[in-house]
Amino acid sequence: MCGIFGVVAKKGDIAKKLLIIARRLQYRGYDSLGLATYLDGEIDLRKDMGTVESVVEALKLDNMKGNIGIGQLRWSTFGKPSKINAQPHFACDKDLVGAHNGNIVSFYQTKENLENEGHNIISQNDGEICVHAAEKHYNKTKDMVKGIMGGIKEMEGAFAFICFHKDTPETLYATKMGSSLVIGLGEGENYIASDLPSILPLTNKYVPLNDGEIIEITADTYKIYSAKDGSEIKRDPRVTDLSAEEAVKGKYDYFLTKEIYEQIEATEKLAYGLESDVLDELVDKLANADIAYLVGCGSSFNACNVGSYYLNNLAGVLSIPVIGGRFFEEFKNIKPTDKMVILNVSQSGETKDIINTINFAKPKGFHILGMINVPGSTVERMSEAYAYIGAGIERSVAATKTYTNQVLLFLILAARVGHKKGNISDKEFEELKNEIHNISKLVEKTINDSVDKAKQLAKELSKTDAMSLLGYGITHGVALEGALKIREINYISAEAMYSSEFKHGPLSIVEDGYPVIYIVAPEDKYYVTSHISEVECRDGRPIVIGENIKGLDKHVKPGDYFEIPKSSQLISPILAVIPLQLLALYMSIERGIDPDYPRNLSKTLTVD
Ligand code: BG6
């Protein structure tokens, strides 16, 4: 999944504005970068493989001039990472330049059709197909909106596309056809970008877009058209309170470090949601449900695993965590009832696997609910009711504060629904409210108590290339998340599973010193003690993360007990993930890996 962006401005340094956005979209793809600007009748296109800083340096992108420009950051799908496959691309006559984000699944067929009609396609990248398809229809109509409408019909896939033409050098055009895109409104300049956080240093005024829309902006106007019939769609701008400052590293070495510490403030802010009416609609929908499918990908799916524990045990709503790409394969023949909801959990609100689930389930009559972080995102716009996790902008590809706030929001929702349905007494609800309001202090203590130990353990474990992480009951989702963190930014095998399942096969991996990390909640000592001793007696290296549970330390070597502050069973998973986040961070630093931009990954995947 890539990042596309464009700026049209009456005056000022166009390259500077384009690179401000590019630097904030880097987490969406860092295989190559390209910019195209227009000045005095010429389009200046510069692009190459590499990170933003390396390409800016090599091609002097910050010297580019003009009043209009577009750019693209690539996470390769069609066509190897290379200079020729980098975007933007010219059309045949170099009068039109464009770039896309997403996938054109009809790439080979559309390429063949266009080549048979004389188009000269020079790369193996599906983005170039979009440019030639638009050119074909623009040349027939001399109207870029019609050009894009016609071009869209030539292709099959989910994408967003941006372009400009020498004939109209003061106008940017774009379309949203399944991948994220937003308009930003400035003073004497306007922007188009793949996501809202990327334009925040330039403006907090934006216009959200829906799939099937074509956009036309100049330095002081914006228009939206239906891609179906070209009719104009009126939509007022919105103002976001997300701040640009949130997305700079400040005093921290990495965004990941910063975002781990930001969990203190993020959990405190979200705890106030407990009493707020903003959650009322979502609480009502869940309280009315008998079955809730909790759908997410990556860290969001891991949060759904802890969330299902809360909803099943506190709220009495039968809750099933489902991987995003699996829903419609697994549940396609389920007949939705009014008592069934799908709660889609996605920090970006743009993950394609989740959008696919909604596009499948909504027409079938499922109630679509959302838990998101980015305002104005597609999941928000397709949900009957939704709630923000309020974690602020997350830049590091590996999720931390968004995962933690997703888990906390699940606890808050389950508590509210459980109390509303009478599953939780007033007294129990009050006690839980006090614990939730105290969480950020426990998060702060857990971080401060864990840093040195995590650094020390990371020194040792960074030399290993495989380990297992075992959770039980409420901590299973934590083991999944810890393993994902370690895999994402260390490129080693870290397998998570239910600790009772380990003896049914995977135990064979254990040999002298093989690390097995147990995440133990206060009430689960009985079963987990046996699980630990099964590894201990085979010379494996059990490592425990949990509060000081009497006698459990006897089963691990001195230094291998990662003690976290005392808390209730329900709060413990929110604290227990922190040592794992820190361990993954320090291991990657030990291994010389940039934890913010791990290879082959991207923060938000808007492709299948
Ligand atoms: C992946 C990210 O691309 O998408 C993960 O690397 C993330 O960190 C996953 O958890 C799901 O993203 P989202 O935005 O749907 O929560």
The atom of ligand 1 lying closest to the CA of 296 is 15
Q: What pLDDT shows up at residue 203?
A: 94
C-alpha closest to that of 404 among 418, 415, 394, 416: 394
φ and ψ of 357, to 5 deg: -60, -45
Ligand 1 proximity of 84 Cβ (cutoff 6 Å): no
Band of pLDDT at residue 471, cut at 50, 70 and 90: very high
Band of pLDDT at residue 368, cut at 50, 70 and 90: very high
Taking the centre of ligand 1 as the mean of its atom positions, its distance from the CA of residue 606, in whole angstroms, is: 10
Taking the centre of ligand 1 as the mean of its atom positions, its distance from the CA of residue 604, in whole angstroms, is: 5
Q: Is the pLDDT of residue 409 over 70?
A: yes
The atom of ligand 1 lying closest to the CA of 403 is 10
Whether the CB-CB separation of 161 and 99 falls below 8 Å is answered with yes
The atom of ligand 1 lying closest to the CA of 398 is 8
What whole-number distance in Å separates Cα of residue 605 and Cα of residue 595?
A: 18
Q: What pLDDT shows up at residue 1?
A: 60
The three state secondary structure string of 289-314 is CCEEEEEECCHHHHHHHHHHHHHHHH
Ligand 1 proximity of 125 Cβ (cutoff 6 Å): no
Task: Locate the DSSP E strands across 154-193.
Answer: 157-165, 172-177, 182-185, 189-193
Taking the centre of ligand 1 as the mean of its atom positions, its distance from the CA of residue 537, in whole angstroms, is: 38
Task: Locate the DSSP E strands across 363-441.
Answer: 367-372, 385-388
Q: Is the pLDDT of residue 242 over 80?
A: no
Ligand 1 proximity of 399 Cβ (cutoff 6 Å): yes
What whole-number distance in Å separates Cα of residue 523 and Cα of residue 86?
A: 54
Predicted TM-score (pTM) of the model is 0.85
Place of tokens 């590894």: 535
From 301, 374, 382, 605, the mutation candidate for ligand 1 (largest count of ligand atoms within 8 A of CB) is 605
The atom of ligand 1 lying closest to the CA of 300 is 16
Ligand 1 proximity of 347 Cβ (cutoff 6 Å): yes
Cα angle 103-105-107, degrees, rounded to a multiple of 5: 100
End-to-end CA distance of the chain: 9
Mean pLDDT computed over 208-220 = 96
Band of pLDDT at residue 248, cut at 50, 70 and 90: confident
Mean pLDDT computed over 296-302 = 98
Band of pLDDT at residue 550, cut at 50, 70 and 90: confident
Whether the CB-CB separation of 365 and 336 falls below 8 Å is answered with yes
Q: Is the pLDDT of residue 247 over 70?
A: no
